[in-house]
Structure 1
Amino acid sequence: MILEHVAIWTGQLEQLKAYYIKYFGAVPNEKYTNEKKQFQSYFLSFQSGARLEIMSMPNIPDNQNDTIKAQYKGIIHLAFGVDTVQEVEAKAKQLQEDGFQVLSGPRKTGDGYYEFETLDPDNNRLEVTCPYPQ
């Protein structure tokens, strides 16, 4: 069994699509629109086969997770895997240079990974991680 996709509500569908294309190599499908429900979505496919569905519809409330400390139960982050420590560091540098906040790291974790945590344009938490070399 595989995890088929994860879905995210957004108020800025095109901006979020562009972010995941630019920084994470996503490949979008054609936009789906349901005029009756005022619903629009894209499926973004990644090299691994994983997919992210980004969706927009009026009157969806904002995410309540704080960008620094306050978190709520439920899905809290998406993790993107790379092969090397250098790739983790390069992605952190690229995002910082483009004005995105790095919340923590890059750092070695206690469970054997090297990672940093950041936010996408909707303040969804993301990690970029790789196994820490032994």
Structure 2
Amino acid sequence: MKIEHVAIYVKDLEKTKEFYVKYFNAEAGALYHNKATGFKSYFLSFQSGARLEIMHKTDLEPNILTGHLGYAHLAFSLGSEEAVNTLTAKLEKDGHKILSAPRITGDGYYESVIADPDDNLIELTK
């Protein structure tokens, strides 16, 4: 058994798609649009085989809570400390939020934490 994909709602579907394509080499599938409900989505595929579905509906309200149950973050393993440092610096240079600079965590991970365009947390790990 494997997880087939993870899905998240986003405010700006195109902006979020381009973010994951540009920084994480995602391959975007075709836009799905249900005109009756206003629902739109893209499936983003990564080299590892993992998939992320980004979804949008115009009538959704933001649900930003601190310390809530549910989705916490996505983690991308980049393969080396240098790759974590490089991508973190590129994201910062391009104006994206860096929530935690590259560091060794208490549980031994080398990581940084950034936010995607909708403030979803992403861990960049070794």
Q: Normalization by structure 1: what TM-score?
A: 0.90
Counterpart AA for 2:75: A
- For each residue in 1:31-64, what CA deviation from the matched residue of structure 2 results, as whole angstroms up to 9, or x when unmatched? 0111111111100000100000001112111131
Equivalence map 1:121-132=2 (5 Å): 121-130=117-126
Partner of 1:104: 100
> Matched residues, percent identical?
47
> Distance between the aligned counterparts of 1:128 and 1:63, measured in 2?
24
> Distance between the aligned counterparts of 1:92 and 1:71, measured in 2?
24
* Correspondence 1:37 to 2:37: yes
Task: Give the secondary-structure state (helix, strand or coil) at the position aligned to 1:15.
Answer: helix
Report how many aligned residue pairs link the two structures: 126
Aligned structure 1 segments of 4 or more residues deviating by more than 3 angstroms? none
* Correspondence 1:82 to 2:78: yes
Task: Give the secondary-structure state (helix, strand or coil) at the position aligned to 1:43.
Answer: strand
Task: Give the secondary-structure state (helix, strand or coil) at the position aligned to 2:119.
Answer: coil
Measured after TM superposition, the shift of residue 71 of structure 1 is 2.8
Equivalence map 1:1-134=2 (5 Å): 1-65=1-65, 70-130=66-126
Q: Normalization by structure 2: what TM-score?
A: 0.96
Measured after TM superposition, the shift of residue 112 of structure 1 is 1.9
Task: Give the secondary-structure state (helix, strand or coil) at the position aligned to 1:86.
Answer: helix
Task: Give the secondary-structure state (helix, strand or coil) at the position aligned to 1:95.
Answer: helix
- For each residue in 1:2-44, what CA deviation from the matched residue of structure 2 results, as whole angstroms up to 9, or x when unmatched? 1111101112000000000000000000101111111111000
Task: Give the secondary-structure state (helix, strand or coil) at the position aligned to 2:102.
Answer: strand
**Which ranges in structure 2 are unaligned for 5 or more consecutive residues?**
none
- For each residue in 1:48-90, what CA deviation from the matched residue of structure 2 results, as whole angstroms up to 9, or x when unmatched? 000000011121111314xxxx331211111111110000000
**Which ranges in structure 1 are unaligned for 5 or more consecutive residues?**
none
